[in-house]
Amino acid sequence: MKKVLIVAEKPQAGKDIAKILGVTGEHKGYMESDQYIVTWALGHLISLKHPDEADERFKKWKLEDLPLITDNGLKVNSKTSSQFKVIKELVGREDVCKIINAGDAGREGLLIQSWIYRMAGNKHPVDILWASSLTDEAIKKALNNLHSDREPEFINLLREAEARAEGDLKYGFNYSRMLTLLYAEPGTVLSYGRCQTPLLNLICARDMEYENFKPEPYWTVEAVYSKGFKGSLANPETGQPLHMTDKKEAQAVIQECSGMKCQVLQYINEEKSDKAPALYNLSELQGAMGKRYGFTPDKTLQIAQSLYETHKILSYPRTDSRYLSDDLYHEIGEHLKACDFGKFSPVMADIPLLELKKDKAYFNNNKVSDHHALIPTTNPDMAAIYQKLTEDERNCFDLIIASLAAIFLPPYQYTSTKIITEASGRQFHSSGTIIRNLGYKKVHAILGGTSNKEGGEGKQLQILPELSEGELLSTDNFKLIKGMTKPPARYTPGNIIKLMNKHSIGTSATAAEIVKTLERRGFIILEKNKYLSTSLGREFISVVPEELKSPALTREFEEELKKVNSGELTKEEFLCKIDEGVAGNLKKFSASKVGKKMGAGKKAVKCPICSSPVRSGKTQSGKENWYCTGYKNTPPCPFKIWKTIAGKKITDQQAGDLITKGKTSLIKGFKSSSGKEFSAYLVLNEAGQTEFKFKERKR
């Protein structure tokens, strides 16, 4: 009897599918019944060969070999080769008649599975199973709605995925070798990444802006009206508060206006109504969790993946879309009903389940790519599962439930009032808001109450009286207000993904890993909820040519990829363009005068506690240190050495000796709290902490 081979993304997904199909026979690496064989991948079982794996000539790095224009081929990853062997044997069985690709639904997942089948020598037809979630219902629905991998949509998506992988390899290996050979001292490797390097450049640039920023004072004038409200001196053209760098100029305005009445030039009273925002995609969720709880993009992704895979209460997480497909309209009521429990019930009671409106602002096929927006599933055990979630998982899931409920609640309604007055030719602007109906903002009760920013029903942010244009207003006084200019904000877990989206750096599926890689390499650190570049990261960016670290490079790459998907470009044409661009840049930069070298005299130093690399960095307060890059591990590694100890600057050599030998040579010039100088050795105790050891006196 012929059988269908199903290849899932991970073991748990495979076992979930096997359970639904009644497949119970367990074997090493797969399960089997009379009709089906269910097996699974373990991440990237197959990957592209590196140039030196494809051709022995490239083991030694030489400028004259660049650019490396090779068809590298594929290789089996050694760590998971045993599972690939299982799949290959199953693919080759005579009783297998068809394969169902049940891998991760998206560009990368399609590529992972395609490479497996290619390396396994598959000759069977392949159908694709893409489920919106991992609930039994969603998997059954997907099994009844399979797609052939020969459909144009999947052919083009696979070509795009292959072009992306091969293009990134060309960038990475060619530019890493070029930068290393041109700018690095022997023993130092400069690792380039198409997405990582431009992102690092943006972070370094923002840090430099922040550190070089010098706050300057400014003054503005505020009118305090006898009717109990205030107005700010404004630029009549922009309506923005007028900031004056000369205090005397502001004082002159007060002198001009003192004792004068202000005439009402405009009184604008508008009733406004705002709809709920679009639903979350992964990027928006990562931004919200970063802003609200300080979670890194990777932490939010792991939580979303757990809600999807382990708990089966969230739809597919790695989605780029914030919209729902039209066909979901007929099912969405069931998703809402599944969330009608506990603290969510009062909000759900306000949603007319029998009269749900299909709003184009949320249901739009044209804005749904591979997957729709993040929504709760229809899991019948939702209430019980919710009680078992961790606090972090509940916080994340609360946002998702709130966002879905919000789109079916009434709009947020408020009255917006603006008053413009004039005195001595100067304009003063006032604004106020009275909330009439919270509408969809009632969902904020789910999220732990209503913040001041969001307002409360009937709350008046500034009480503005009813006035008539031309009316004269008495003032109590005109106040001088001093302010200080502020530096540009540093990047945080709450806005780093937004920055990446703005510059087309990565995708929802890859953004978290890009940030994580920069941390892992010691190029950036997360300190007090801010991403800061390290001295290593800045040194690296300083030697990378502008064209290679500009976000324009990755933006153009993504635009060309879209052309591959649409059929406007073939994969071969895309890669040819990459080769030509790389060759041109290599010629240009190889011929240029080599400036500073990076990594002079430096060797990689490993942490004495956890063996992670030790990097040089700076805290947010500006305090320099050597720190362990394993500080993000679980549990975090606490190892660090301050660059200034007891008033004495510690050299790289001394720090290196302390880390590798556990003790420095005798250091002179330390100062006690009383200001007295002393000499001592620095040693590491058993906990990896720095201590003084004094020279023994001769008896």
- Rounded to a whole number of angstroms, the distance between the first and last alpha carbons of the chain is 93
- Across 506-583, the runs of DSSP E, i.e. the strands, are 524-527, 530-533
CA pair distance 339, 382, nearest whole angstrom: 7
User: Which string of DSSP letters, residue by residue, matches 519-569?
Assistant: HHTTSEEEETTEEEE-HHHHHHHHHS-HHHHSHHHHHHHHHHHHHHHHTSS
Q: What is the number of alpha carbons within 13 Å of residue 136 lying toward its C-beta?
A: 8
> Which residue matches tokens 């012929």?
2
Q: How far apart are CA 500 and CA 502, in angstroms?
A: 5
Q: Count the helix, strand and coil residues of the chain and give each as a percent rounded to the nearest 5.
A: 40, 20, 40
Q: What secondary structure letter does DSSP report for 594? A: P
Core vs surface per residue 410-429: b (16+ CB within 10 A) or e = eebebeebebbbbbeebbbb
Tokens linked to 540:
């690296």
* Alpha-helical runs (H) found in 379-510: 382-388, 391-406, 496-502
Q: Active-site residue numbers?
A: 316
SS3 label, residue 616: strand
Give the Cα separation of 648 and 671 in Å (integer). Answer: 7
For β-strands 426-437 and 530-533, DSSP reports them as: unpaired
8 A C-beta contact, residue 321 and residue 369: yes
Q: Give strand ranges (E) for 466-517.
A: 472-473, 475-484
For the chain, the C-alpha Rg in angstroms (whole number) is 31
- 590-593: Cβ within 8 A, 24+ apart: 590/63, 590/66, 590/178, 590/182
Q: How many CA atoms lie within 13 A of 154 on its CB side?
A: 18
Task: Tell me the two tokens of residue 304.
Answer: 């979303």
Count CB-CB contacts under 10 A for residue 321: 20
Half-sphere exposure of 59 (CA within 13 A, CB side): 4
CA 536 to each of CA 204, 512, 522: distance values in angstroms, whole numbers, following the listed order: 11, 21, 7
C-alpha dist (Å) from residue 204 to 197, 207, 209, 540 = 10, 5, 9, 10
Q: Are 170 and 579 in contact (CB under 8 A)?
A: yes
Cα dist from 540 to 324, 482, 547, 593, whole Å = 43, 41, 15, 17
What CA–CA distance (Å, rounded) separates 244 from 487? 18
- Please give the C-alpha separations between residue 267 and each of 428, 430, 469, 478, in angstroms, as whole numbers: 12, 10, 6, 21
Distance CA(394)–CA(392), nearest Å, equals 5
Helix and strand totals (H; E) in the chain: 21, 26
- Give how far Cα 534 sits from Cα of 489, 518, 617, 620, 623, Å: 17, 10, 5, 11, 12
Integer Cα distance of 65 and 580 in angstroms: 15
Coil, strand, or helix at residue 33?
coil
Q: Which amino acid is present at 144?
A: N
Half-sphere exposure of 45 (CA within 13 A, CB side): 28
- Is the Cβ–Cβ distance between 637 and 651 less than 8 Å? no
